[in-house]
């Protein structure tokens, strides 16, 4: 894919951007968990780089926040110092977004003109940059949904924002794997039925549903496991609602689906593990499967603990971090399987 003489610098660059995107996902999760996402009510792409530097600037930022429903209906007793706390979470999140954009674009231009990246491979790099720009727009589009009539952002836009972030991460991580694995594997058996592809799809679907859980505060209800207050199906909903758009607006149903997609991932991965460990010709995939086993187990435990705690911030953040490790481990399997 890439000129081997300049491969090292390219791989370092991709690794840096991949790590920054991961950090941004983590900070974004904490921004949501601390209800900080609406603290900055304007989208100033350039002037917004400079935070308030004196009391008057802080008072102005706070006065803008006081105009939105979240302050009027939920945080009317908030002090300026308390506002500063939520402001910094959102500010850091936006600053990271700008940093990712700059640190991606400038080296990309350099690698393009030095022909470090082959011409036929430039399209995927341009696509990633387009997604990064689109992600910035989605972020503001999401914030905008909570400035007029709502006390929080739209769960639909939140899910789109998080899912796009993970799609960017997936592209970057796969490119990084290609830059550090230049040897071609020949005559090795692939998993049947595109199983590694399906696993990635299920995990991304689960991440998207997790954003709906967060956006609706669905992790703060039915704080029991394995049943939902003694029932498999939530007693405040009807099964028919699962097959309508109403599903995405009901916290109970979103939590129900998030639980059951987790079970589906576990069952499906068990089939993958069975294939890999029962056949000697899948020996090259066993370490990758073992890594997924460990990360999936930890993620399930963190999910249960997060639920039982009522989405306590530290546990909920660790659960989101766990999703990054799980998708990374699964992409490693996907890469090794696709290279076979």
Burial of 245 from C-beta contacts in 10 A (0-12 / 13-18 / 19+): exposed
Out of 33-47, 77-91, 160-174, which region has the weakest mean confidence (pLDDT)? 33-47
Encoded tokens for 179 = 């830059």
Mean pLDDT of 45-59: 89
Can you give the pTM of this predicted structure? 0.94
Q: Provide the residue ranges of all domains of the chain, joining segments of one domain with +.
A: 1-182, 184-340
Beta bridge partners of 231: 228
Give the pLDDT confidence score for residue 1 in this predicted structure. Answer: 47
Quote the CA–CA distance of 87 and 62 in Å, as a whole number: 9
CA atoms in the 13 A half-sphere facing the CB of 257: 22
Mean pLDDT of 55-70: 94
Quote the CA–CA distance of 67 and 199 in Å, as a whole number: 45
Q: For 208-259, how does the pLDDT look when each residue is reduced to its tens digit (9 = 90+)? A: 999 999 999 999 999 999 999 899 999 988 888 888 888 899 999 999 999 9
Mean pLDDT of 155-181: 95
Give the pLDDT confidence score for residue 2 in this predicted structure. Answer: 47
Encoded tokens for 41 = 């009510």
Could you say which DSSP state residue 73 is in? I
Quote the CA–CA distance of 137 and 122 in Å, as a whole number: 23
What is the end-to-end Cα distance of the chain in Å, rounded? Answer: 16
Element (H, E) at 144: helix 122-144
**Range 204-240 burial, b when 16+ CB lie within 10 A, else e:** bebbbbbbbbbbbebbebbeeeeebeeeeebeebeee
């Amino acid at each position: 894919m890439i000129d081997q003489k300049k491969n090292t610098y390219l791989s370092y660059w991709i690794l840096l951007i991949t790590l920054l995107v991961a950090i941004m996902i983590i900070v974004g999760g904490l921004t949501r968990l601390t209800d900080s996402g609406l603290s900055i009510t304007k989208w100033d792409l350039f002037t917004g780089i400079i935070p308030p530097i004196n009391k008057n600037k802080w008072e102005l930022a706070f006065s803008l926040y006081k105009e939105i429903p979240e302050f009027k209906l939920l945080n009317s007793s908030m002090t300026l110092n308390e506002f500063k706390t939520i402001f910094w979470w959102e500010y850091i999140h936006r600053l990271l977004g700008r940093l990712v954009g700059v640190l991606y674009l400038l080296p990309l231009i350099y690698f393009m003109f030095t022909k470090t990246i082959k011409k036929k491979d430039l399209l995927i790099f341009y696509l990633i940059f387009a997604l990064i720009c689109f992600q910035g727009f989605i972020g503001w589009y999401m914030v905008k949904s909570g400035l007029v009539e709502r006390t929080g952002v739209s769960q639909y836009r939140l899910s789109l924002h998080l899912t796009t972030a993970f799609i960017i991460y997936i592209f970057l991580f796969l490119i990084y794997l290609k830059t550090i694995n230049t040897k071609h594997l020949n005559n090795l058996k692939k998993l049947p039925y595109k199983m590694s592809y399906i696993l990635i799809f299920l995990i991304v679907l689960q991440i998207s549903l997790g954003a709906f859980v967060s956006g609706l505060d669905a992790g703060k209800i039915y704080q029991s496991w394995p049943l939902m207050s003694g029932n498999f199906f939530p007693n405040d909903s009807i099964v028919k609602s699962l097959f309508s758009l109403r599903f995405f607006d009901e916290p109970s149903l979103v939590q129900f689906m998030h639980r059951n997609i987790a079970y589906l991932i576990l069952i499906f991965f068990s089939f993958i593990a069975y294939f890999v460990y029962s056949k000697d010709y899948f020996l090259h995939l066993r370490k990758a499967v073992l890594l997924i086993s460990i990360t999936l187990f930890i993620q399930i435990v963190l999910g249960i603990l997060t639920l039982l705690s009522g989405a306590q911030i530290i546990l909920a953040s660790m659960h989101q971090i766990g999703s990054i490790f799980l998708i990374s481990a699964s992409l490693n399997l996907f890469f090794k399987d696709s290279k076979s």
